[in-house]
Amino acid sequence: MQITTERKPLEQVEADALIVPVFEGAGETRFGAGDLWEAGEIAGKPLEFTLLHHAPGSAAKRILLVGAGKAEKFDAAEMRKLAGAAVRYLKPKGIKRIAIALSGSYAGADFASAAVEGAILGDYEPDRYKTGDDKHSLEAVAIVGAEGAAVERGRILAEAQNLTRAMANEPANLLTPLKMAEEARKMAAAFHLECEVLEREQMEKLGMGALLGVAQGSAEPPALIVIRYKPANAGSTDHLGLVGKGVTFDTGGISIKPSEGMEKMKYDMSGGAAMIGAMQAIAQLKPALTVTAFIPCVENMCGSRAQRPGDIVTAMSGKTIEVLNTDAEGRLILADALAYARQQGCTHLVDAATLTGAVVVALAHIHVGVFANNDALQERVLKASKAEGERMWPMPMDDDYKEYLKSAFADLGNIGGRWGGAITAAIFLKEFAEGTPWVHLDIAGTAWLDDAKPYLAKGPAGVPVRTMVRLAMDW
Ligand code: BES
Ligand code: MN
Ligand code: ZN
């Protein structure tokens, strides 16, 4: 898709459709809309659409007036949604070339970036494996009244997020751990990042017993993807590690999951895919910070070599774990990935994982659960998430929760019982972050849209790519 900026007056913008936000109480009179406003047909309510053909005084074939709600509530997140919803309204009509008008006081860099993001994210469809000829996508988006740099930033972010979405939507027969590593290598080569993939043998040498225990139930070999970004001029000696859960399919293992809805468990590598997407954007936006991504990839299967409940494994850190439930596999692979990230010199860690059903009980599909051992880093993440419109909520991490992870026979059990499952999972991970400042993002409820939004297709959401990129950029 071609993304450009336009510097013409609105009336002179040529496009198949020019998208114009209309605010509540604005008394819209442009493009001959005065009568419709007087009649109450246009009121500026959020996501109200009015399509005008050959509007008087406009060079565009169509004007799409889009309700933007109250001006004082209109922020970048609203702009992103507005652009996405407008694109999804226009696409089925076969419209290919659109322009988006930035409105009055809402024309800053954040709004320009968000408008591009909304359009590119709204254009994405998880239709790679549909063979029909009824697919629609945009060819060109022009942002009227925007700075080039802001538009470029928006493009980079949204394309990274769509890479994550496409990866998360790949079925597990086509995206195995090794295939995921190959995709990461391709991305890294295209954007001049270093990429290294650790294989089973190296994991054995490193003593990654927790990761290997999960991997042993599948015929597909595991892979630990490492992607490195080094700034030309580092602003500090800090080194940010981005760790992402890469379970390409989660059957639950011997503690097998119910069959209903199990097909969704192809998304269990969404955290890993998000970190790959974030690295693609970081490579282009070039923060002054060293950033390395670590993505442990496995398939959690129940083959004849699979680990059993009651098995005891020794993690890279030396801690022993009693595997009380083989379906609590994410924390096992992350335990070794976090230890490896620390060994590789990371001074700060953020992980993203579709870790627990319990986080969905706690926060539904609205907020990412945030867990941390360090208030300052947690604040940084929350601040970035707010600016990017990726909603997150901090959860408690009191030491009292550690009680629940007691094992009679090993240092730790891998489950914490019935209550507070998202918290006990995070407390488990905390044992492996040790003294390094760390934030854990449980994205089990937010990485996938069970239903389409007006501005996004059903399926993978690409959370938290934008927050990770902003965190690195604002470091
Ligand atoms: N990948 C799942 C988390 C999950 C579960 C996401 C349901 C979306 C819906 C994770 O590996 C898992 O199975 N977690 C278990 C942990 C339990 C065994 C302590 C869960 O949440 O049920
Ligand atoms: Mn599981
Ligand atoms: Zn899982």
Question: What is the set of active-site residues?
Answer: 257, 331
Report the separation in Å between the CA atom of 335 and the middle of ligand 2, taken as the mean of its atom positions.
15
* Matching residue, tokens 């299967």: 301
| Closest ligand 1 atom to Cα of 300 | 11
Nearest-CA residue for ligand 1 atom 17 is 328
**Model pLDDT for residues 146-169, shown as the tens digit of each residue:** 999 999 999 999 999 999 999 999
pLDDT at position 424 is 98
Please report the pLDDT score of residue 100 as a whole number.
98
Res 406: pLDDT: 98
Average pLDDT over residues 106-130: 96
Model confidence at 134, pLDDT cuts 50, 70, 90, reads confident
Mean pLDDT, residues 291-311 taken together: 98
Dihedral, CA of residue 36, residue 41, residue 42 and residue 43, to nearest 10: 130
Our separate counts of H helices and E strands in the chain read 13, 20
Q: Say yes or no: 83 and 139 in one domain.
A: yes
Q: Give yes or no for residue 309 having a pLDDT over 90.
A: yes
- Whether residue 73 has pLDDT greater than 80: yes
Given a cut of 80, whether residue 105 has pLDDT beyond it is no
Question: What integer best gives the mean pLDDT of the chain?
Answer: 97
Task: Please give the average per-residue pLDDT across 256-272, as a whole number.
Answer: 98
Q: Ligand 2 centroid vs 124 CA: distance in angstroms?
A: 28
Report if residue 356 sits inside a domain. yes
Number of folded domains in the chain?
2
* Alpha-carbon dihedral angle through residues 363, 246, 416, 350, given to the nearest 10 degrees: -70
In the chain, pLDDT over 90 holds for what percent of residues?
97
What confidence category does residue 193 fall into, taking pLDDT thresholds of 50, 70 and 90?
very high
pLDDT of residue 400: 98
- Note whether 304 and 432 are same-domain residues: yes
On whether residue 80 sits in a domain, the answer given is: yes
> Residue 343 corresponds to which tokens in the numbers above?
């060994």
Nearest atom (ligand 1) to Cα of 268: 1
Ligand 1 atom nearest to 329, measured from its CA: 11
Q: Return the H-helix or E-strand segment holding 197.
A: strand 194-198
Q: If residue 279 lies in a helix (H) or strand (E), which one and from where to where?
A: helix 270-285
Same domain, 141 and 179: no
Closest CA to 407 of 305, 290, 328: 328
Give the pLDDT confidence of 225-244 residue by residue, as tens digits.
999 999 999 999 999 999 99
**Does 157 fall in a domain?**
no
Domain for residue 156, yes or no? no
User: Of 110, 145, 180, which closes a domain?
Assistant: 145
Tell me what pLDDT residue 133 has: 84
Q: Whose CA is nearest to atom 7 of ligand 1?
A: 357
What is the DSSP annotation of 73-103? G--HHHHHHHHHHHHHHHGGGT--EEEEEPB
Give the rounded percent of residues in the chain with a pLDDT score beyond 70: 100
pLDDT for residue 45? 97
CATH classification of the domain holding 436: 3.40.630.10
Of all atoms in ligand 1, which is nearest to the CA of residue 358? 21
Residue minimizing CA distance to atom 22 of ligand 1: 357
Q: Are 375 and 227 in the same domain? A: yes
Model pTM score:
0.98
In the prediction, which pLDDT does 107 show?
A: 83
Residue 190 has pLDDT above 80, yes or no: yes
Q: Indicate whether 188 and 55 sit together in one domain.
A: no
Give the per-residue pLDDT at 111: 96
Confirm or reject: Cβ of 327 under 6 Å from ligand 1.
Answer: yes
What distance in Å separates the CA atoms of residue 207 and residue 317, rounded to the nearest whole number?
A: 8
- Ligand 1 pocket check for 415: Cβ under 6 Å: yes
Same domain flag for 110 and 238: no
* Interacting residues of 28 by C-beta distance below 8 A, sequence separation 6+: 22, 34, 36, 37, 42, 44, 65
Nearest Cα residue to 216 out of 300, 297, 296: 300
20 and 104 within one domain: yes
Which of 355, 356, 419, 440 is the best mutation target for the ligand 1 pocket, counting ligand atoms within 8 Å of the beta carbon and taking the most? 356
Based on the fold, state whether residues 120 and 172 are members of the same structural domain. no
Residue 136 shares a structural domain with residue 241: no
**Residue 381: HSE in the Cβ half-sphere, 13 Å Cα cutoff:** 30
d(CA 239, CA 105): 38
Q: What is the distance between the alpha carbons of residues 322 and 310, in angstroms, rounded to a whole number?
A: 6
Pick the ligand that lies closest to the CA of residue 358.
1
CATH of the domain at 106: 3.40.220.10
β-bridge pairing 97-101 and 412-413: unpaired
Instruction: Output the CA torsion sign for 260, 421, 393, 246.
Output: negative
User: What's the rounded Cα separation, in Å, for the pair 294 and 299?
Assistant: 17
* Domain assignment present for 151: no
Pocket lining: 354 vs ligand 1, CB cutoff 6 Å = yes
User: Which of 209, 296, 208 lies closest to 245 in space, CA to CA?
Assistant: 296
155 located within any domain = no
Average pLDDT over residues 403-414: 98
- pLDDT tier, 322 (very low <50, low <70, confident <90, very high otherwise): very high
For residues 132 and 171, state if they share a domain.
Answer: no
Q: Is 324 in the pocket of ligand 1 (CB under 6 A)?
A: no
What pLDDT is stored for residue 106 in this prediction? 83
The finding on whether 28 has its CB within 6 A of some atom of ligand 1 is no
Q: Is the CB of 417 under 6 A from ligand 1?
A: no
Domain annotation covers residue 154: no
**Which residues span the domain enclosing 132?**
2-145
Q: Which residue puts its alpha carbon closest to atom 14 of ligand 1?
A: 356
Same domain, 201 and 124: no
**208 pLDDT higher than 80:** yes
| Cβ 16 vs Cβ 54: under 8 Å | no
Q: Is it true that the peptide bond before 464 is cis, omega within 30 degrees of 0?
A: yes
State the average pLDDT over residues 351-379: 98
CB atoms within 10 A of CB 230: 12
Q: How far apart are CA 329 and CA 459, in angstroms?
A: 23
Residue 103 scores a pLDDT above 80: no
CA of 328 to the centre of ligand 1 (A): 6
Q: DSSP state, 171?
A: -
Do residues 182 and 109 share a domain? no
436 lines ligand 1 (CB under 6 A): no
* The last residue of a domain, from among 82, 111, 145: 145
For a mutational test of ligand 1's pocket, the pick from 327, 407, 423, 427, i.e. the residue with the most ligand atoms closer than 8 A to its C-beta, is 327
Q: Mean pLDDT throughout 332-340?
A: 99
End position of a domain, from candidates 145, 171, 197: 145
Domain-embedded: residue 283 = yes
Residue with tokens 């270093």: 194
Q: Is 442 in the pocket of ligand 1 (CB under 6 A)?
A: no
